[in-house]
């Protein structure tokens, strides 16, 4: 019979063994891979931008570089030393921009990959690890696994107390929302469309990482009826047919088009002024990347969808998050630039909306199949072979 322990506890056992013996030991990551992680880690390469943000908030001095270029606006919200880090490329995605040779030249002590756990991800990690001889771990990128990831990686990087502190903040943020929302069956949940890209015609499918914040807010992703997966392209006609109550734009060009382009007139969300621009500096509040940066999106979306329930001051929450996670004390000008287009607009139509429990199973769209929740694995078990952690939380 296997002994089942929480992922965080097993990771702690793993790191205690490292301290005791002063050598590398096996860490079991979210893809069930045994990886010999060194006891001292001075340089970390992120396989993707979400992993880069994870390392940045825990131990920024150990991050060798960003996976993708940062815009001038993003750099303005980061400490100068971190804003100047080089772009080292990413190892994941359909078009990786970093090679094994480039990774070897950087000489990191560890590679961290966060995102979707799959056989393909495991095979990629094994190949890069074999080619570079650098340990490569995969962590579950689901939003519910964020606290465990913060604790585990924090301990690995010698920032255990900070990891625990940030993990506590994340758990408290989620639990406070869960307790605040009405624990009753919702009779109506708003339909929401999240438009990515310059034209807003890319969006996330059911249970995708990019839609995790919106799913957690208990609303209905109108594109969920198109199936599960990550991203898909849609048409303007499809959006009109769905007639979402809220539209959130990832980029300003789409947000501006919704306001000014005659082609979008007549859409309910436009008529009722329920269109918003997702803040993106230094990292997105919904995705881009799908990392720890999404946590500030939870109170923001709750304030949008359920204004009668969320009574806290959003600006205070934003200031606290940026200071605690990014080490940035926002000026009044920076704060207003973030929230101005993300808040309710003058003239916006409001109506009471029944509120579901945070993290509740998504409600199927009319005529569509139920969206069954999918399980997620813990973001790394760590340590002792033969010990099995308890099942990971649902995304």
Number of residues assigned to the chain: 395
* Alpha helices (runs of H) in the chain, residue ranges in sequence order: 7-21, 49-58, 72-75, 80-83, 100-106, 119-132, 146-156, 160-180, 212-216, 236-242, 252-260, 268-271, 297-305, 314-321, 332-339
* CA separation for the pair 292, 51 (Å, rounded): 9
Classify residue 291 by its DSSP letter.
Answer: S
- Provide the CATH topology of domain 184-342: Rossmann fold (3.40.50)
How many CB atoms are closer than 10 A to CB 348? 15
Region(s) of the chain under CATH 3.40.50.1980 = 4-173+375-389, 184-342
Classify residue 394 by its DSSP letter.
Answer: P
C-alpha distances in Å from residue 251, one per residue of 27, 66, 220: 39, 21, 21
**pLDDT score of 391:** 38
CATH architecture of 4-173+375-389: 3-Layer(aba) Sandwich (3.40)
Q: What is the pTM of this model?
A: 0.83
How many CB atoms are closer than 10 A to CB 22? 9
Among residues 34, 35, 77, the alpha carbon closest in space to that of 53 is found at 77
Per-residue pLDDT in tens (0 to 9) along the chain, 395 residues: 333 344 554 455 444 444 444 445 689 999 999 999 999 999 999 999 999 999 999 999 999 999 999 999 999 999 999 999 999 999 998 889 999 999 999 999 999 999 999 999 999 999 999 999 999 999 999 998 999 999 999 999 999 999 999 999 999 887 776 665 554 345 557 899 999 999 999 999 998 999 998 888 878 899 999 999 899 999 999 999 999 999 999 999 999 999 999 999 999 999 999 999 999 999 999 999 999 999 999 989 888 887 776 767 899 999 999 999 999 999 999 999 999 888 865 455 555 444 444 444 443 333 333 333 334 444 454 443 333 333 333 33
* CA separation for the pair 256, 242 (Å, rounded): 21
Omega into 289 within 30° of 0, i.e. cis? yes
């Amino acid at each position: 019979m296997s002994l089942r322990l929480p992922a965080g506890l097993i990771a702690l056992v793993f790191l205690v063994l490292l301290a005791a013996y002063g050598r590398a030991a096996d860490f079991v990551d979210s893809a069930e891979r045994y990886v010999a992680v060194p006891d001292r880690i001075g340089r970390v390469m992120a396989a993707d931008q979400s992993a880069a943000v994870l390392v940045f908030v825990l131990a920024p001095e150990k991050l060798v570089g960003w996976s993708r270029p940062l815009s001038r606006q993003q750099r303005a919200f980061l400490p100068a030393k971190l804003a100047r880090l080089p772009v080292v490329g990413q190892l994941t995605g359909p078009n990786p921009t970093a090679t094994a040779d480039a990774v070897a030249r950087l000489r990191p002590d560890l590679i961290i990959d966060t995102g979707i756990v799959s056989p393909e991800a495991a095979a990629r990690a094994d190949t890069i690890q074999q080619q570079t001889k650098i340990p490569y771990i995969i962590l579950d990128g689901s939003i519910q696994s964020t606290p465990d990831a913060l604790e585990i990686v924090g301990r690995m990087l010698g920032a255990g107390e900070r990891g625990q502190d940030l993990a506590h903040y994340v758990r408290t943020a989620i639990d406070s929302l869960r307790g605040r929302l009405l624990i009753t069956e919702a009779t109506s949940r708003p339909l929401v469309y999240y438009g990515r890209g310059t034209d807003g015609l890319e969006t996330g499918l059911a249970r995708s990482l990019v839609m995790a914040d919106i799913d957690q807010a208990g609303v209905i992703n109108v594109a969920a009826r198109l199936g599960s997966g990550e991203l898909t392209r849609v048409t303007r006609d499809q959006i009109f047919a769905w007639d979402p109550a809220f539209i959130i734009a990832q980029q300003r060009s789409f947000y501006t088009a919704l306001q000014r382009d005659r082609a979008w007139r007549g859409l309910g969300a436009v008529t009722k002024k329920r269109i918003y621009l997702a803040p993106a500096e230094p990292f997105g509040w919904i995705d881009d990347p799908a990392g720890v940066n999404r946590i500030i999106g939870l109170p923001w979306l709750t304030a949008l969808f359920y204004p009668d329930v969320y009574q806290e001051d959003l600006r205070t929450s934003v200031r606290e998050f940026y200071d605690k996670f990014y080490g940035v004390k926002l000026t009044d000008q920076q704060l207003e630039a973030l929230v101005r287009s993300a808040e309710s607009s003058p003239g916006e139509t409001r109506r009471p909306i029944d509120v579901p429990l945070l993290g509740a199973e998504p409600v199927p769209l009319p005529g569509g199949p139920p969206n069954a929740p999918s399980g997620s694995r813990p973001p790394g078990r760590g340590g002792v072979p033969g010990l099995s952690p308890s099942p990971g939380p649902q995304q």
